[in-house]
């Protein structure tokens, strides 16, 4: 077994098999696992917000769906991955609290997922699997050796996609 | 007024926020001890910290630790959120005391337990907010409480995202309450918007 590389909130990193990469306790944030299956290189981005253009302070590119995915792919390419043929698996984007309607904060998880999908589509990256929405937190682990994404949630059996 | 920059706060401003945490949690602690008919509930000296998003969940046992989070959104002259958090075991302790039950039951929450927890959150958050309202002489109203029981990282992502819109750190006014022989620890986190910070400071003449 390789090492487990941890990615925090508003952060990204990469790993190569046999190492694996994880992010803990995804709530309304979205975890995006990017994968070069030929070279067994994976990237994982943990984004918090949909759009870097919508806020003034956007210096931390890892925070946003649009810039975070780009930055993560750049890092993968620098480390030997190919930009062509990358695939993705995504998880998170939950609505942790059942806010009443009309509250913009309530839809942030959903908006993160929509922005993530739009960005991946724009880059021509296929989404092989997703486990998004609902109202619970998730811990995810990606294994570049097999291309599997393991999703753990409280009170539920772990799920492999 | 929205140009308040909390990464450039001076120690006086930190002290003010600490004092707000002190007064708010002091009231909330009194409310909780009345509710539980306990005189052993104590409050620790509050902390005001600027935390990286990655470190947020470490204050309550790490990203995967199971917690109960009760969130209220603030409206009126101060906008933002406040959150009261307890580790799951602490929440069980509180409920077991309240319901006069066996103190060893940590298995699961009934429907009744959940609504009691929600009400506890409501009462102590209300006590916290009303004291801040008095101190600053500003009107603060809050939403109904929203509750979630889940991993700390997932629950804290909600306030973190609010902070993420304006900066790369979260300002946390954290106060811990402890009941000595049964280890009830609760944490308050007050999350005003940037504009509200300016208003709080201005209301206190800073």
A76 contact B CB<8A = no
pLDDT tops 60 at residue A13: yes
Whole-prediction pTM: 0.87
Task: Give me Rg for the CA atoms of chain A.
Answer: 15
What is the per-residue pLDDT across B95-130, written as a single tens digit (0 to 9) for each? Answer: 888 887 766 666 678 888 888 888 888 888 888 888
Supply φ then ψ for residue B63, to 5 degrees: -60, -30
Considering the candidates A29, A33, A48, A72, report the single residue annotated as catalytic: A29
Q: Are the beta carbons of A98 and B158 closer than 8 angstroms?
A: no
pLDDT tops 60 at residue B1: no
Supply φ then ψ for residue A65, to 5 degrees: -60, -45
What is the per-residue pLDDT across A14-32, written as a single tens digit (0 to 9) for each? Answer: 999 999 999 999 999 999 9
What is the per-residue pLDDT across A39-77, written as a single tens digit (0 to 9) for each? Answer: 999 999 999 999 998 887 778 899 999 999 999 999 999
Q: Per this entry, what is the length of chain B?
A: 206
Contact A49 B164 (CB under 8 A): yes
What is the per-residue pLDDT across B14-56, written as a single tens digit (0 to 9) for each? Answer: 788 778 878 888 888 888 888 877 777 777 777 778 788 888 8
Confidence (pLDDT) at B205: 78
Confidence (pLDDT) at B6: 62
How far is it, in rounded angstroms, from Cα A38 to Cα B159?
Answer: 39
Buried b / exposed e over B20-42, threshold 16 CB at 10 Å, is bbbbbbbbbbebbbebbebeebe
Q: What percent of chain B has pLDDT over 90?
A: 9
Give the start-to-end residue ranges of the domains of chain A.
Answer: 4-160
How far is it, in rounded angstroms, from Cα B176 to Cα B183?
Answer: 11
Q: Considering CB atoms only, which of B64, B152, B158 is closest to A28?
A: B158
Taking the alpha carbons of B4, B10, B14, B20 in that order, is the dihedral positive or negative? negative
- Return the residue matching tokens 């580790």: B87
Bridge partners (DSSP) listed for residue A140: A23, A151
Residue A83: DSSP 8-state: S
What is the per-residue pLDDT across A62-117, written as a single tens digit (0 to 9) for each? Answer: 999 999 999 999 999 999 999 999 999 999 999 998 765 556 666 899 999 999 99
pLDDT tops 80 at residue B194: no
Question: Hey, which bits of chain B come out as E strands?
Answer: 41-43, 47-52, 66-76, 80-87, 140-142, 146-151, 169-179, 184-192
A97 contact B CB<8A = yes
What is the distance in angstroms between the Cα of B73 and the nearest Cα belonging to chain A?
A: 9
ipTM above 0.85, yes or no: yes
A29 assigned to active site: yes
Class of A4-160 in CATH? alpha beta
A134 contact B CB<8A = no
């Amino acid at each position: 077994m390789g090492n487990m590389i941890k990615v925090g909130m508003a952060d990204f990193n990469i790993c190569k098999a046999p190492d694996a990469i994880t992010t803990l306790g995804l709530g309304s944030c979205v975890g995006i696992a990017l994968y070069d299956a030929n070279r067994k290189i994976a990237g994982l981005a943990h984004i918090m917000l949909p759009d870097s253009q919508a806020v003034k302070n956007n210096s931390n590119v890892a925070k946003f769906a649009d810039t975070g995915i780009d930055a993560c792919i750049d890092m993968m390419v620098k480390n030997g991955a190919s930009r062509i043929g990358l695939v993705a698996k995504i998880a998170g984007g939950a609505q942790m609290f059942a806010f009443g309607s009309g509250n913009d904060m309530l839809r942030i998880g959903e908006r993160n997922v929509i922005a993530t999908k739009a960005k991946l589509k724009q880059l021509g990256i296929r989404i092989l699997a997703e486990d998004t929405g609902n109202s619970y937190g998730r811990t995810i682990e990606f294994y570049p050796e097999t291309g599997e994404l393991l999703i753990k949630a409280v009170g539920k059996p772990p799920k492999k996609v | 007024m929205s140009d308040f920059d909390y990464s450039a706060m001076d120690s006086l401003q930190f002290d003010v926020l600490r004092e707000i945490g002190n007064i708010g949690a002091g009231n909330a602690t009194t409310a909780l001890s009345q509710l539980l008919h306990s005189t052993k509930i104590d409050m620790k000296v509050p902390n005001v910290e600027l935390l990286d998003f990655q470190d947020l969940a470490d204050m309550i046992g790490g990203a995967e630790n199971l917690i109960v989070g009760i969130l209220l959104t603030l409206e009126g002259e101060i906008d933002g959120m406040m959150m009261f958090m307890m580790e799951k075991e602490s929440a069980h302790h509180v409920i077991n005391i309240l319901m006069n039950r066996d103190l060893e039951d940590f298995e699961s929450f009934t429907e009744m337990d959940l609504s009691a927890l929600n009400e506890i959150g409501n009462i102590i958050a209300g006590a916290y907010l009303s004291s801040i309202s008095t101190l600053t002489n500003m009107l603060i109203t809050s939403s109904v409480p929203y509750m979630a029981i889940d991993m700390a990282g997932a629950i804290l992502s909600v306030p973190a995202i609010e902070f993420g819109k304006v900066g790369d750190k979260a300002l946390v006014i954290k106060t811990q309450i402890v009941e000595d022989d049964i280890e009830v620890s609760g944490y308050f986190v007050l999350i005003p918007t940037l504009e509200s910070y300016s208003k709080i400071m201005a209301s206190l003449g800073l």
